[in-house]
Each structure stands twice: as C-alpha cells, then as structure tokens.
C-alpha cells in the first residue's frame, strides 16, 4: 500500500509475494479478508491480481478472493480474474444481506457457471453476519461442477466435520481459515489452511502442515501451540490491522492500513510485539 495515495504499491506487493513463497507456502490467496479486498474497486483488484501473477511466475497457485454483494458484479469480476489467469476464484458469501439458502445457491452457481473452466472455492466467514450450513455447502459441492473446495473461517469444528462428512464421497477440498486450528483441521481431514499470519510467519505455519503430513503429529501440534499466542494476541487490535502490525513489527515493509483503519499503538501494539519477540526467542 502506498501510504500517501492509498493505491496498491506494486513494488511492496512483489516483495511480499517473494517473501511468502520463500517461506514455503503452497499457494497465495490474493484479497482475503485481512488483505482489505473490500477497500478496493474492481480495477484495483484486478491490477493487484495481475501484479501477483506476474511476480509469481507459476511458482504456486494463485487464488483470487472476492465478496460481491450483487451477483452481476460477481460474474463480471470472476470473468476478469479468470481471464487474467487466476488459478482459483474464492467467493465470500454476500455481506450485509440475510439471504436464504436458495438465494445463496443461485448466487454461487451463477458466478461459478460464468467461469466454467476455473475452479471455485466457497469462502465461509460468519463475520458477514450469518453462517452457511453444512447442507448448503454440500449441495454446492455436489451440484456446481467447478465448486471444488472451501475455506471455513467459522472456527466451528462440528460444522467443519459435518462439511467433510457430507462431501467425503467427492473430491472436495476443505481448508481451515482460523490460524489456531490448522492442526485440528488436519486431524479432521482438511487439505490445509489459509492463514493471515503466513504473511510474516510462513515457515512456522508450513511446519505445522509438513510435520503432520510426515506423520509427526506431536511435532505438528507443538508447532501449532507455538503459533497460537502470537495469533491470539492480535484479537486485541481492530480488524483487520493486526496483520500489517505484525508485518511491521517483524520488519516487513507492507504499508499502513487503508483508512479509516489506523495502525495499532499503545498497549495493543506492545502486546503483539512482546508475543512476537517471545516467538523469535524460541526459534
């Protein structure tokens, strides 16, 4: 982010792409909730995607995140993202509305049908004001051909287990969206996790997954427990500034949050700094 103009800073964005890939991530979600997708217009979103794709050079899959309220806007944005070269399109349920399951299914199906050759993820985040049911997610997984996975940020392990149970007959890839639940998600059968803390702590995040996949379950759990205090302390900050606070504390030049959000200061900032220092001391 350019701190003066609030435009996407291409140079900083390219540095961040290289940083997380060097940290071992297996993919990048462009414009998740912590990366302020709701602050940018469609042209800015596509520009950011194009910069990420160019810097990535096919090293890892690139997911394009969006959360359109209006279905028609979602269709147009999804088509632009697919044309630009996004590997997967991740769609957050519409915020502010209180839609029925029928309306939600139509929303996702219409957008997914507009990009039939591009895989689509359901991004479930109750922060929008309501939850998606396991039955609705299963229906989308079974009846919309290119809906092939989801990111679940509910933190509800019963819901997650039901989604996995209802879709275990097909190749549906479920990811956790809570950084503190990577290990527990893998125990349930998730394919991985989408983590905001990976912007600065990628090696630790990746180690939770790698240790689990290699059968070192105790090591995986230990790595998860090592991460948790540094993630949980971020809850003291206003959303979504903690991710940029964390990067700033660890020396990464990512710029300030988009107004009206402001960088954390005082006790909130010092508490995050203290937990991150403890984390570094135990590396």
CA distances from 247 to 7, 198, 200 (A): 19, 10, 6
Q: How confident is the model at residue 283 (pLDDT cuts 50, 70, 90)?
A: low
pLDDT in tens, 69-128: 999 999 999 999 999 999 999 999 999 999 999 999 999 999 999 999 999 999 999 999
pLDDT in tens, 178-189: 999 999 999 999
Q: For residue 146, give both structure tokens.
A: 């290119």
Residue 31: how many CB atoms within 10 A of its CB?
Answer: 24
Q: For residue 251, give both structure tokens.
A: 């020396």
Annotate 99-122 with b (16+ C-beta within 10 A) or e (fewer). Answer: eeeeebbebbbebbebbeebbbbb
CA of residue 266 relative to chain centroid, distance: 28
Global pTM reads 0.94
Known binding-site residue numbers: 194
pLDDT in tens, 203-239: 999 999 999 999 999 999 999 999 999 999 999 998 9
- Residues ≥6 apart with Cβ < 8 Å to 270: none
Q: For residue 15, give both structure tokens.
A: 């540095």
pLDDT in tens, 35-68: 888 999 999 999 999 999 999 999 999 999 999 9
Query: Residue 270: is its pLDDT beyond 70?
Result: yes
DSSP-assigned beta bridge partners for residue 185: none
Q: Is 256 a catalytic residue?
A: no
Q: Is 123 a catalytic residue?
A: yes
Strand ranges, E, within the chain: 28-30, 62-66, 88-92, 120-124, 147-152, 173-176, 192-193
Strand order through the sheet with 62-66: 28-30, 62-66, 88-92, 120-124, 147-152, 173-176, 192-193
Of the candidates 151, 178, 211, 244, the residue annotated as catalytic is 151
**CATH, range 10-202:** 3.20.20.70
Known binding-site residue numbers for pyruvate: 194
- Residues ≥6 apart with Cβ < 8 Å to 180: 224, 227, 228, 231, 232
Distance CA 112, CA 110 (A): 6
Q: How confident is the model at residue 194 (pLDDT cuts 50, 70, 90)?
A: very high
pLDDT in tens, 128-173: 999 999 999 999 999 999 999 999 999 999 999 999 999 999 999 9
pLDDT value of position 37: 87
Show me where the domains of the chain are located.
10-202
Local structure of residue 279 (DSSP, 8 states): H
pLDDT value of position 3: 87
Distance CA 279, CA 228 (A): 10
């Amino acid at each position: 982010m350019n701190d003066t103009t609030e435009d996407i800073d291409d140079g900083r964005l390219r540095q961040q792409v290289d940083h997380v890939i060097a940290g071992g991530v297996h993919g990048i979600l462009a414009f998740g909730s912590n990366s302020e997708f709701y602050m940018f217009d469609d042209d800015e979103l596509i520009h950011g995607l194009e910069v990420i794709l160019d810097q990535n050079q096919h090293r890892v899959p690139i997911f394009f995140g969006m959360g359109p309220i209006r279905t028609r806007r979602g269709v147009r944005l999804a088509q632009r993202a697919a044309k630009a070269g996004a590997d997967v399109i991740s769609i957050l349920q519409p915020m502010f509305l209180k839609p029925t399951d029928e309306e939600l299914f139509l929303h996702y199906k219409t957008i997914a049908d507009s990009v039939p050759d591009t895989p689509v993820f359901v991004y479930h985040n109750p922060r929008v004001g309501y939850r998606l049911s396991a039955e609705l997610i299963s229906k989308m997984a079974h009846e919309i051909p290119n809906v092939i996975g989801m990111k679940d940020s509910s933190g509800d392990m019963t819901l997650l287990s039901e989604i996995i149970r209802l879709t275990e007959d097909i190749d549906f890839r479920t990811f956790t969206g809570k950084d503190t639940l990577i290990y527990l998600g893998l125990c349930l059968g998730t394919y991985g996790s989408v983590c905001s803390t990976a912007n600065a702590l990628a090696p630790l995040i990746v180690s939770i997954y790698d240790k689990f996949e290699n059968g070192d379950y105790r090591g995986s759990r230990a790595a998860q427990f090592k991460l948790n205090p540094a993630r949980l302390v971020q809850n003291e900050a206003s959303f979504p500034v903690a991710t940029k606070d964390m990067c700033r504390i660890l020396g990464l030049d990512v710029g300030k949050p988009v107004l009206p959000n402001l960088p954390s200061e005082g006790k909130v900032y010092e508490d995050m700094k203290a937990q991150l220092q403890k984390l570094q001391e135990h590396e």
